[in-house]
Structure 1
Amino acid sequence: MFYIIGLLENLMLLFVVNKEQILHKPMYLLLCMLALTEITSSTSVVPRALCIFWFNLKTITVHGCLTQSFFLPMFTVMHSTILMTMAFDRYVAICNPLRYATILTNARIVKLGLLGLIKSVLFILPLPLLLTRLPFCANRIIPHTHCDPITVAKISCGDITVNSIYGLVILFLVTGLDLMFIALSYGLIIKAILRMSSNEAHHKALNTCTAHICVMLTYYTPGLFYCLTQRFVQDVALHGHVIFADLYLLIPPMLNPIIYGVKTKELREKLCKYTCRW
């Protein structure tokens, strides 16, 4: 149900932004990129997981597993890159409002999205390649509903030090840099807000950031918790890891369109226009 609701919400969001000319702005273009990333990341895992639970189809080919171990982390990194770009978008909107239309054009946002995709592919491509070099002995049962790279590496009978270190490099270098730029953007935003004289201006500026902050919390908090506990905490029960990982792929795609739909007046009005008609 979470998967279907999230899928319908994100498809509805894409449909409304595409139909409404007034929503053809950088902020909504980034929101569409986020929706596409969430659709593809959950779809790369959930249907396959449901086949395990509903039809007891527990086998997966080596190529299928390697494909899944590439696309899921790639979409995760892409998701983080989009959130960083959205933070920059909010920084420009609040700190340089008069230059917003010239700094962030739709064409520039598309280029930033393509650069983010290239970055994701380049950083994640070594993960499945590192898995192919590992020997797998008698145990070929992956204790998960999908081929998470570190989970697959752990069932190997070889040395997985390189796999583990590279996973941490991605976590701290790629995601860490994104978080650093997000923190820098919000530091400058807070500085600009404190300079504003009226309370109404304070409220308006903060309100434009609320949705983005909520979306970041729903993504980074469980994501970092899952990645770190997978590597450093041994006391968490296996089913706890599995349930948490699956909910991490289901809840943000379901909540994010609701958060933006509630907090963004312009989008809320256009969504109501179509949903009320139906």
Structure 2
Amino acid sequence: MNQSFLYTALSLTAYSPPGLLNYVFFVLCLLLYVLTLCANVLLIALILSDPHLHKPMYTFLLHLALNGIVGSCAVCPKVMQSLLSRDPFMSYGGCLLQVLFVNVYTLCAYAILAVMAYDRYISICKPLQYHTIITPGRVRVLLAAAYLFPVGLTAVQVYLTSQLPLCRFAVNKMFCDNLVVVKLACFRRDLDNVYGLFIVCSLVLFPFVCVLLSYMQILSVSWRASKASQRKALSTCAPHLIIFINFSTIIFYSVLYNRRDSVSVLGNFLNSTLFALLPPLFHPLVYGLRTKEIQRSIQKLLLAAPPRPGPALPHLRVVPVDRSPHPASRRLGS
């Protein structure tokens, strides 16, 4: 592809001219964006600073938080800039770069959630073998696979998409994804459709099935255990299961929504917010509210804060005390 073609301007027609509605959307997006960054940075800092959280489950959670920051940063700054712009546009190269980061955010999240489900399966179904199976080396291998496969396959997909000639230059969405760029092309190739289907099957459906199978085994083992063991298993798996259902629902909704050609400004904004901000904000909140170890870490952080200095006392002048005998007493003594 011609390098100069990367600087071709794409018009973002999903944005209305600057007005009250745009300013309201901007404030909401900015508020959620700041909350998302603060929540994930706090979670990462807690996991890194507290030795009690240096466990495989929290290591995976740390990488899920990092991935959430990548997803929100890939979408929100450009959305906020375009909301205040009178003529919003994006270069073709910038659009392809956003496609890369958006796909990496989505696919890596699914891969990390699948790895976390495997960790929970080993913890509950094979507790005596947990430390021999989930070793530090195995954790590194699982995380490497959760990053390398999505990044590598997505990079190939973006390269294939970049080879398509463009006949249209209007993007009716608030951010770019692969389907948006393909719709701008003069034609579609069977290779792109087959490769896209391969990515969906290998990095979405396969992790989805792995999570379902893991929880089927967990439910089967928990059903035969005592009530106390069932409650412990439920408390351990509930945050991950809530996050997985929430993320899958939002991604499924976004995929269906992005296939529509005629959409409203409000619908576009809600879809962008749900996709890029709600899961990264939801993940640390769920784990912070439902995980006792993270709650204890937060309490320790708050208790370790230095006390506030009290009000300054007025300066008192010290008057020396005369301890010599009184003259009258000296006379009596004499």
TM-score by length of structure 1 reads: 0.91
CA-based RMSD of the aligned residues comes to: 2.0
Write out per-residue CA displacement over residues 73-92 of structure 1, whole angstroms, 9 at most, x where no aligned residue. 01211110000000011101
Change (3 A) 1:170 1:245: farther
Structure 2 residue 298 is matched with structure 1 residue 271: yes
- Which segments of 5 or more consecutive residues in structure 2 lack a partner in the other structure? 1-30, 307-334
After TM superposition, list the pairs within 5 Å mapping 1:9-158 onto structure 2. 9-56=39-86, 58-137=88-167, 139-158=168-187
Match of 1:159 in 2: 188
Of the candidates 205, 209, 218, which is equivalent to residue 233 of structure 2? 205
Contact 2:250 2:274 in 1 (8 A): no
Of the candidates 261, 269, 273, which is equivalent to residue 288 of structure 2? 261
Change (3 A) 1:150 1:238: farther
Give, in whole Å, the separation in 2 of the partners of 1:143 and 1:6.
Answer: 26
TM-score by length of structure 2 reads: 0.77
SS in structure 2 at match of 1:237: coil
Match of 2:263 in 1: 237
Contact 2:175 2:272 in 1 (8 A): no
Of the candidates 182, 191, 194, which is equivalent to residue 223 of structure 2? 194
Contact 1:150 1:164 in 2 (8 A): no
Write out per-residue CA displacement over residues 104-142 of structure 1, whole angstroms, 9 at most, x where no aligned residue. 1233212211111111122212221122222212x3121
Contact 2:67 2:109 in 1 (8 A): yes
How many percent identity over aligned positions? 30
Give, in whole Å, the separation in 1 of the partners of 2:261 and 2:227.
Answer: 49
Write out per-residue CA displacement over residues 52-81 of structure 1, whole angstroms, 9 at most, x where no aligned residue. 012446222222221111121012111100
Give, in whole Å, the separation in 2 of the partners of 1:199 and 1:5.
Answer: 38
Change (3 A) 1:77 1:46: same
Give, in whole Å, the separation in 2 of the partners of 1:57 and 1:161.
Answer: 35
- Cα distance, 1:229 vs structure 2: 4.3
Larger radius of gyration: 2
Alignment length (residue pairs)? 274
Q: Which moved more, 1:91-100 or 1:128-137?
A: 128-137
Amino acid aligned to 2:123 = A
- Which segments of 5 or more consecutive residues in structure 1 lack a partner in the other structure? none
Write out per-residue CA displacement over residues 17-65 of structure 1, whole angstroms, 9 at most, x where no aligned residue. 1111111000100000100000011101111111101244622222222
Match of 2:278 in 1: 251
SS in structure 2 at match of 1:60: strand
Give, in whole Å, the separation in 2 of the partners of 1:74 and 1:149.
Answer: 12
- Cα distance, 1:174 vs structure 2: 1.9
- Cα distance, 1:95 vs structure 2: 0.7
Change (3 A) 1:25 1:71: same
Amino acid aligned to 2:263 = A
